[in-house]
Amino acid sequence: MPFDRSRATSDPARAATLALAAIGWIVQDEDRAERYLSLTGLTPDTLRTGLDDPATLISALDFLANHEPDLIRAAEALAVTPEELIAARQELAQ
């Protein structure tokens, strides 16, 4: 389900929804998921239990922001702009 660009990005619930979608995109690829877990120190179990934790959501958006090819591919897959992913990260950090 594409992220609705017409809605304001200053909505924590929408930012969390986009971050969850980003996590879904990250874990679809085994190599990318392993890289994410390795870089964040998360395990599959801590990822699962942390899906309602802003720090976990932010970690996924940071992961994408720190590797532009993934950021661009994730944005395309989620039908958003890379800037929207970055804005969601900033919203969650507030």
Those residues with Cβ within 8 angstroms of residue 46's Cβ, 6 or more apart along the chain or in another chain: 56
Q: Do 61 and 70 meet the contact criterion of CB atoms below 8 Å apart?
A: no
DSSP 3-state percent helix, strand, coil across the chain (nearest 5): 70, 0, 30
pTM (2 d.p.): 0.87
Distance CA 12, CA 91 (A): 6
Distance CA 7, CA 30 (A): 32
Residue 2 banded pLDDT, cuts 50, 70, 90:
low
**pLDDT tens sequence across 47-70:** 999 999 999 999 999 999 999 999
